[in-house]
Structure 1
Amino acid sequence: MFITDISLKRPTFAIVVIIALLAAGIISFMGLNLNEQPETNLPYTAVIITLPGASPDQMESKVTKIVEDNVGQISGVKHLISRVSEGYSLTVIEFDDSRTVDDAAQDVRSKLGSIRSLLPNDINEPVVSKINMNEMPVLSLTVAGDLSSVKLSNLVDNTIVPKLNSISGVGSVTTYGLMEREIQIKVDKDKLAAFNLTIGQIISGLSSDNIDIPSGKVADDSREVTLRTYSSIKNVEGFNDIIVATINGTEVRLGDVAEVIDGYEARDSISFYNGEECIGIDIVKQSGTNTVEVVDEIKSQMEALEASLPAGVSINVVSDNSTSIRASVHSVEETLIEGCLLAVAIIFLFLRTWGSTLVSAISLPTSIITTFAAMKIMGFSLNMMSLMALSLSVGLLVDDAIVVIENIVRHLRMGKTPIQAAKEATSEISLAVLATTLTIVAVFLPMSMMNGILGSFFKEFGLTIAFAVLISLFISFTLVPLLASRYVKDDEDIEPRTKFGRFLHWFNYQFDLLAGYYKNILSVVLRNRKKTIAVTVALFVASIALIPLMGMSFIPSQDKGIITIAAELDSGLSLDAATERAKKIEDIVNQYKDVQSVYTTIEKDSISLSIDLTDKKDRKESSDEIASQMRAEIKVMPGLDLSVAGTSGMSSSSAKAYAIHIQGEDFDQLLEYSQKAKQLLNDIPGAVDVGISYKAGKPETRIVVDRDAAADLGVAPSSISSTLGILFNGTTVGQYESGGDRIDVKVSVQDDQSTSLDSINGIYLASTTTGRMIPIEQLISKEYGTASSQIARYDKSRDIEIQANFIGLTSSELNSAFMDKLNKELPPPKGITIGAGSDQQFMEESAGGLVQAFILGILFIFLILAAQFESWLDPFAIMFSLPLAIIGAILAMFLKGDGLSMVGLIGIFFLMGLVTKNAILLVDFIKKRREEGSDRKEAILEAAMIRLRPIMMTTLAMIFGMLPSALNSGTGSEIWQPMAVAIIGGLISSTLLTLFVIPVIYTILDDIKGKLRSVKSKARDNILTKTKRVS
């Protein structure tokens, strides 16, 4: 091997290269960011448009449909998901992977600009945002204290928020429950009538008087001066002096018809932390920064900030993303260290010499440290994906070194010099070791190239393993033979006089006996090839038959010590009524001893609680078990659509875990069918928190404009609509600048004049034809009904989601049971379609991507093996080790009882690269012995005897290296356990069966090759015979 020869001839040069790699790794490690998950750009953008006072039906017809129809024309749009409520329209656009999120967002902005004239004039400016998972709060705080709501709001707005924004690494700070200052102009409609004025005239007067606009420039020979016409209000009292009309030469000022109040916006939500009213603060870090460092800096600054706050005011940490990151990273670090120690112990158990063990083990830290340099170059961070990649690859990183060092020791025992043994032993197995490493890389490269969200997450996972094993290969061909030539000696066994030495001697003696038994059994197996294949096929079929019994889920449940409760309330409740219900839920929650804190956010139609529990190791019950107990107590409260869940998957969320879409154009039919389907889902054992996304709306009075009467009297329908909007909701007419802040100016009628529909009486509009004042009640009629509270749309159709959480079964089991029940008892009628929910779609798309990567991985492995063995048939003997691994992987997951998850499937994917190693070592040795003239059976038995030790060493090193991951109970361990369990089970079955089945498969394929050669030979002989006869 070329690089081995260089390292043996120029040891100083080789050591310098390794030191340089280690230095680069250490420096890179110090510069790597520490985050919970890899940074990823999702192909989603969101469009938010608000129109105060508009009903959901109006928002849908006048805003949402227009946005959907036009934005849907943009190239690459995959799905459109819209949510419409009172005065609010949200449309989320999902793009396919061909688009970047930045370009997609720009196209959406351009499209909205081109259709602005199609939207209502009085909408607020549309907001287009990119949905970025990285822009989630890293720290959530609450501020509470013995101050009035106004003073507390001012303290947060003027002191705390500016301080937080100034901290290095902070990207944005968002507040909740803050009382926003507002200049309120309360018009007295009786005084308006007395002056013969309309509300429209008041607004016009305000707009023309409170101005600040550019007026051009004046230039002389030496300079240019900008002119501005400036007549803005200097103070709040100045609003009273604004002239709104002139009647018969008399000026009517705003103060004559309205009251000006320097007040605050009405709150539509309120928050409590441990029962105390508070203001919430979410802090998002800048992209590319270290989450832990940013949080630490914020907390450091908070200590000084709290000391300067008024007495009785406190800042509390509600959610700290760095806590779970630290705990997860610490758990992975422990797993990594434990795996390394166990792998080294296995090596020592077999090699029995400190020199051989340490030379093999040195590839572990060297490979891991150098991998950090590759991660830095690729822009990766230290996160759960990359760290678990290193943890799970511990056994792999010593694999090549074990094979090399074991072969060097074998050559030393042949009487060769250390240099000669190192050179020839490494060269002998170099192609086999290279092939085994490349097969692992071949598996993980397709994984890193998967599309979609799963591909974004597993890119760092796959490439980190690929980098690590390639570096390990380099170390095994350079540093390992170099050190072995100097420090590995034959018969350097520990003295058998010690108990430990005697144990090692006994263990290896027993292993040699086992090798002899294995050789004898293999001889019998080779004489019973059909029975061997039949038993293997039966085991494989039996394992596949277990899959339907396991259930399928996407990500295993994870206990992060958080419970989320979301309760949708009946429409039409006041904020006070919603607060009263929230307090009852808090009383129930606070009865549980494991509850540390409760953060509650209340809106008029919803309540959400985030509940922090004590650490997992300090609890007897899991978060899911506690959540189930809470659910049982809370669900008896009437008027709640409840969702209670312990943390699941990779993040906490109040969204229900299972959902399907039901779509149709006829909404009455859609609603009727959805309600019946909801009842069927509710009847399935294990389904809890069953609900539908549709919620009956508030009682609504529809104001119908008499267009004929309005036209006859010279009143525009739009002025009727805007006047009514001002009457009952008010309207923002501009901004007032004070102390650098721009404060909204809002016009409405006085509170006691807009309490009922009778408030319409006494409101007048000016006729554009006669100038006469027309009572508004002459131009309208009233209709009574119920408005939709919230409208959901999916791909331009009305949509109702049926949602549920589940206990004691997986999402796939629930979906299967529900679909069967629907097809048998409630088949969808014409006009109704049923589609998978977003999680189900995500799972299906991810499974499709994984299957594609799986096929590519197998193809790459086959091509690598074909290139190594210079044969298209021999690789099939090695490829048969793949189904042997599936047997143990499925059985292990079945026995553990976790079901088949996407993470478990990735574990099986992982196995593809691992299990071919043993088969390659066997087949490679067999072929070499046959090339040297050995009989086929003799070559097989000799390969079995000689390769048994390195095969068992590498397999046990991998198994014990992954054992801590399978047994770990620390934070975040639930996600990775199924992968480790699948890998360990697959390694066990594959190794045991490979030792017997692969030789059998090899002989069968060899017989086929012999028959093919015979056929070719006969054909050639026939051709030659015919040729001679002709001649």
Structure 2
Amino acid sequence: MLEAGADGEIVRLRDVARIELAAGDYTLRARLDGKNAAAIGIFQAPGANALQIRDAVVAKMDELRPRLPPGVEIQSIYDTTIFVRDSIKSVISTLLEATLLVVLVVILFLQTWRASIIPLLAVPVSVVGTFAVLYVLGYSINTLTLFGLVLAIGIVVDDAIVVVENVERHIEEGASPVEAAHLAMREVSGPIIAIALVLCAVFVPMAFLDGVTGQFYKQFAVTIAISTVISAINSLTLSPALAAKLLRPRDAARDAPTRVIERLFGWIFRPFNRFFQRSSQRYEGAVGRALGRRGAVFVVYLVLLAGAAVMFNAVPAGFIPVQDKLYLIAGVKMPEGASIERTDAVMKRMAAIAGEIDGIRNEVAFPGLNPLQFTNTPNNGVVFFTLAPFSERSRSAEEITAELNQRLGEIQDGFTFAFMPPPIQGLGNGSGWSLFVEDRTRLGYGALQEAVQAFQGAAAQAPGLGYPITSYQANVPQLDAVVDRVKAKAQGVPLTELFETLQTYLGSAYVNDFNLFGRTWQVIAQADGPFRDQVEDIANLRTRNAAGDMVPIGSMVDIRQAYGPDPVIRFNGYPAADLLGESDPRVLSSGQAMAQVTALAAQVLPPGMAIEWSDLSYQQATQGRASLVVFPLAVLLAFLVLAALYESWTLPLAVILIVPMTMLSALVGVWLTGGDNNVFVQVGLVVLMGLACKNAILIVEFARELELQGKGIVEAALEACRLRLRPIIMTSVAFIAGTVPLVLSSGAGAEVRSATGVTVFAGMLGVTAFGLFLTPVFYVALRKLANRPLVSHAPRPAAHEPVRIDA
């Protein structure tokens, strides 16, 4: 009730207003597959588990579904955990495939079930132990930790292989299994400890990086370091005990399982053994010749170092690979001042076009939503297209996006575009580069608009960049309400009353709350549509003066047509305009695109304006070269650990000098496959550093021990190469086999797994070949350069003899 007259008449609110229970905001709409919808986004809180939240949401949806009115449905259109679950399934599948390949390699080399089972038991021991330690440290089992375990599978069997191979060698020389185990552990305990310490030292710098890059590095580093330590403990304790119990003397009769294996696979074992024997003899001769021509070998090594530097510059820089996350983002930008109905009509055409493209399943449209700022503007709209599962389509998201962009070009009413989502949710709105153009000298909104348009034009002409989009416009039609304060004062209208009236009539105002249907609703007051449809309607609106009289607003307010910026953005305190661009990955990597954008900005932008990277591009600009810090620190720590173990400054160099070959061979593999030097390639390079040192340690440690026993430097190096060739080849082939599923990855997260897989596959292949020949040359050259005998600072253990213990 608004008023009661003297005669009893009552003026109610319904007499002067239209009252309805409706939406609180009409600036944004939602539509699912052409039908009106209400979209609800559910986001996890920091530290929460996405999979648990998803299960709880689905359970609540199932609970609510029977209570919905007829004709209303509730659906889950996009679920980020589908990608997470698929990624975990793919990683687990890769883990099992890698384990199987490692099993086959171990059987191929050891050729008996008794010897093969010992290194294979290291896999479950290390995996279970790693999970236990990760749990204690507060880590979760996610795609990154599982991915780290995939890389660790080939590492955890290495130490056990070294133990078993050495025990078998002593058994072949006539020792009993127990004596062979003692002799073998006396020889390999030092290398196993050294390898574990070096691998941990290599990963230590990764664990202390901060930022986005640090989060990726840290989980890999912790996972692989834990599995390495557990593997070393297993190889020093369980593996020799199993070898002493399971392996049989040289002249013992073969048991039934061994005879079955020989009968089934002997046709593979026999030619393989002959091939390996001939290769070993040729390898010994090649190493002998290399030791005799050390100068020429060092010249080749310097050439290879130059090649590594060339490859480092040749492989384009990247950051995080763009991934197929089962959805695409499309947007439309209509002319300034376009109504939301006009925008909605264009978006319906976009949905119809997308429905004809194979691989697109659903569309969720939001007319009135700015795709860059995610603010409500009637001339913008966003459509999220969900894709069919990986198993139901043959094309990648990148291919679908390319076709969608081509087909959307048919629409001439507005500027349409489509792009893939960002690699990391929350860091940007798209998969490309993003930045702000800053007006640092206050040249004005018009000058900023001209600079943005010039930059867009230059980018569109640059190969591989394309036309970047912006939400900034400096000439958006607006209405300026110019208040004549003298007239307002003369008519007794307070300015606060005037401004509140304009706000209520044109923009709406909150009044109070009321309860209905068990909920609290807001009361919103606003002039009805027909009374605020035209500019002239504003002048007819009335406000109350101090005397209580209604005064027309037009008598003191002049309404003028104007133009101004929308949205008004400030970035780092400066007036700014946002830009989002997509580069063609077949032409430019993300690092190359950013370098080209920086060069274009320097050429096109006027003095006083500059660009500032944002979102994922900012992370890449500030942290993308973390490897320049990680690699030197990893090498330095590995060198210091070896120097402490050997009590020498020269012997560690024989191990460390092989590390650059990992970069050469790995980057050649990345270059040949068209990849870029991204975070996951760098993780692979760090893993390769440790593995390269591992192989070199096996040769250097044995050569050192043989030299301590009285052999000459060259003789000790040749003998170490002969004795260590088989375990080095076995462990390297086992690791390479374990990376094959990564190289051939498909499905969710395949882009990440493939990047690391190619790196470690090519790197391990190359560094094994280089290391077998270069490491003995480095050892001999450095020992002769040192020109002093080795000194053992620890007492030599006596040969193992049984001891009688009397009660």
Q: TM-score when scaled to structure 1?
A: 0.71
The amino acid that maps onto 1:334 is S
Task: Kindly indicate whether residue 184 of structure 2 is the aligned counterpart of residue 425 of structure 1.
Answer: yes
Task: Kindly indicate whether residue 81 of structure 2 is the aligned counterpart of residue 295 of structure 1.
Answer: no
Partners of 1:640 and 1:458 lie apart in 2 by 43
- Contact 1:698 1:788 (8 Å CA) reproduced: yes
Structure 2 residue aligned with 1:851, among 613, 628, 647? 628
The 5 Å alignment of 1:278-317 reads 278-285=37-44, 290-300=49-59, 302-303=61-62, 305-317=64-76
Deviation of the 1:648 alpha carbon? 5.9
Structure 2 residue aligned with 1:816, among 595, 598, 608? 595
- Contact 1:559 1:648 (8 Å CA) reproduced: no
- Contact 1:343 1:961 (8 Å CA) reproduced: yes
Distance 1:420 1:705, change over 3 A: same
Match of 1:998 in 2: 775
Partners of 1:902 and 1:714 lie apart in 2 by 68
Structure 1 residue aligned with 2:80, among 312, 321, 342? 321
Deviation of the 1:751 alpha carbon? 3.6
The amino acid that maps onto 1:817 is Q
How big is each residue's C-alpha offset from its partner over 1:647-678, in whole Å with a ceiling of 9 and x where there is no partner? Answer: 56355975251233321121322221221111
Question: Could you say which structure has the higher strand fraction?
Answer: 1
The 5 Å alignment of 1:958-969 reads 958-969=735-746
Task: Kindly indicate whether residue 399 of structure 2 is the aligned counterpart of residue 625 of structure 1.
Answer: yes
Deviation of the 1:325 alpha carbon? 2.2
SS of 1:758's partner is helix
Deviation of the 1:558 alpha carbon? 2.2
Distance 1:759 1:940, change over 3 A: same
How big is each residue's C-alpha offset from its partner over 1:261-320, in whole Å with a ceiling of 9 and x where there is no partner? Answer: 142134222222222222223334566555434434543554454345444433222012
Partners of 1:545 and 1:791 lie apart in 2 by 46
The amino acid that maps onto 2:460 is N
SS of 1:786's partner is strand
Task: Kindly indicate whether residue 418 of structure 2 is the aligned counterpart of residue 644 of structure 1.
Answer: yes
Match of 2:465 in 1: 687
Partners of 1:966 and 1:361 lie apart in 2 by 23
The 5 Å alignment of 1:504-523 reads 504-523=269-288
- Contact 2:436 2:577 (8 Å CA) reproduced: yes
Task: Kindly indicate whether residue 559 of structure 2 is the aligned counterpart of residue 782 of structure 1.
Answer: yes
Q: TM-score when scaled to structure 2?
A: 0.89
The 5 Å alignment of 1:150-165 reads none
How big is each residue's C-alpha offset from its partner over 1:66-85, in whole Å with a ceiling of 9 and x where there is no partner? Answer: xxxxxxxxxxxxxxxxxxxx
Match of 1:906 in 2: 683
Match of 1:581 in 2: 346
Match of 2:101 in 1: 342
Partners of 2:600 and 2:607 lie apart in 1 by 18
Match of 1:440 in 2: 199
The 5 Å alignment of 1:453-472 reads 453-472=212-231
- Contact 2:613 2:621 (8 Å CA) reproduced: no
SS of 1:578's partner is helix
Distance 1:252 1:702, change over 3 A: farther
- Contact 1:451 1:849 (8 Å CA) reproduced: no
Distance 1:800 1:948, change over 3 A: same
Structure 1 residue aligned with 2:159, among 386, 400, 419? 400
Distance 1:777 1:293, change over 3 A: closer
- Contact 1:677 1:822 (8 Å CA) reproduced: yes
Partners of 1:854 and 1:833 lie apart in 2 by 33
Distance 1:526 1:692, change over 3 A: same
Match of 1:634 in 2: 408
How big is each residue's C-alpha offset from its partner over 1:94-153, in whole Å with a ceiling of 9 and x where there is no partner? Answer: xxxxxxxxxxxxxxxxxxxxxxxxxxxxxxxxxxxxxxxxxxxxxxxxxxxxxxxxxxxx
- Contact 2:176 2:249 (8 Å CA) reproduced: no
Distance 1:537 1:640, change over 3 A: farther
Partners of 2:331 and 2:543 lie apart in 1 by 45
SS of 2:337's partner is coil
How big is each residue's C-alpha offset from its partner over 1:132-176, in whole Å with a ceiling of 9 and x where there is no partner? Answer: xxxxxxxxxxxxxxxxxxxxxxxxxxxxxxxxxxxxxxxxxxxxx
The amino acid that maps onto 1:522 is V
Partners of 1:1010 and 1:366 lie apart in 2 by 44
Distance 1:702 1:293, change over 3 A: closer
Task: Kindly indicate whether residue 28 of structure 2 is the aligned counterpart of residue 269 of structure 1.
Answer: yes
Deviation of the 1:257 alpha carbon? 7.1
How big is each residue's C-alpha offset from its partner over 1:358-381, in whole Å with a ceiling of 9 and x where there is no partner? Answer: 011100011101211111112222
Match of 1:356 in 2: 115
Worse overlay, 895-904 or 839-848 = 839-848
Partners of 1:321 and 1:843 lie apart in 2 by 24
Partners of 2:64 and 2:553 lie apart in 1 by 55
Structure 1 residue aligned with 2:436, among 647, 661, 673? 661
Partners of 2:268 and 2:521 lie apart in 1 by 82
Task: Kindly indicate whether residue 309 of structure 2 is the aligned counterpart of residue 535 of structure 1.
Answer: no
SS of 1:610's partner is strand
Worse overlay, 371-380 or 304-313 = 304-313
The 5 Å alignment of 1:615-764 reads 615-647=389-421, 649-650=423-424, 654-655=429-430, 657-664=432-439, 665-667=442-444, 668-696=446-474, 698-764=476-542
How big is each residue's C-alpha offset from its partner over 1:430-462, in whole Å with a ceiling of 9 and x where there is no partner? Answer: 121111112111222221221012222332222
- Contact 2:449 2:474 (8 Å CA) reproduced: no
Partners of 2:551 and 2:570 lie apart in 1 by 41
Distance 1:334 1:363, change over 3 A: same
Partners of 1:262 and 1:316 lie apart in 2 by 28
- Contact 2:451 2:604 (8 Å CA) reproduced: no
Structure 1 residue aligned with 2:17, among 259, 262, 271? 259
Structure 1 residue aligned with 2:384, among 603, 606, 610? 610
Partners of 1:572 and 1:909 lie apart in 2 by 54
- Contact 1:657 1:804 (8 Å CA) reproduced: yes
Distance 1:924 1:752, change over 3 A: same
Match of 2:759 in 1: 982
Distance 1:380 1:739, change over 3 A: same
Structure 2 residue aligned with 1:870, among 647, 661, 668? 647
Partners of 2:470 and 2:519 lie apart in 1 by 43
- Contact 1:385 1:457 (8 Å CA) reproduced: yes
Task: Kindly indicate whether residue 344 of structure 2 is the aligned counterpart of residue 567 of structure 1.
Answer: no
SS of 1:428's partner is helix
Partners of 1:453 and 1:284 lie apart in 2 by 20
The amino acid that maps onto 1:885 is T
Task: Provide the aligned C-alpha RMSD in A.
Answer: 2.7
- Contact 1:643 1:656 (8 Å CA) reproduced: no
- Contact 1:551 1:813 (8 Å CA) reproduced: yes
Distance 1:597 1:369, change over 3 A: same
Partners of 2:66 and 2:178 lie apart in 1 by 69
Partners of 1:1011 and 1:933 lie apart in 2 by 13
How big is each residue's C-alpha offset from its partner over 1:704-755, in whole Å with a ceiling of 9 and x where there is no partner? Answer: 1223343455433222211111121221122223354222122233443323
- Contact 1:562 1:612 (8 Å CA) reproduced: yes
Partners of 2:550 and 2:17 lie apart in 1 by 23
SS of 2:37's partner is strand
The amino acid that maps onto 2:433 is Y
Match of 2:365 in 1: 600
Stretches of structure 1 lacking an aligned partner (at least 5 in a row): 1-239, 1014-1031
Partners of 1:532 and 1:325 lie apart in 2 by 49
Partners of 1:779 and 1:932 lie apart in 2 by 107
Partners of 1:387 and 1:620 lie apart in 2 by 26
Alignment length (residue pairs): 768
Partners of 2:9 and 2:302 lie apart in 1 by 99
SS of 1:704's partner is strand
The amino acid that maps onto 2:696 is A
Partners of 1:733 and 1:297 lie apart in 2 by 36
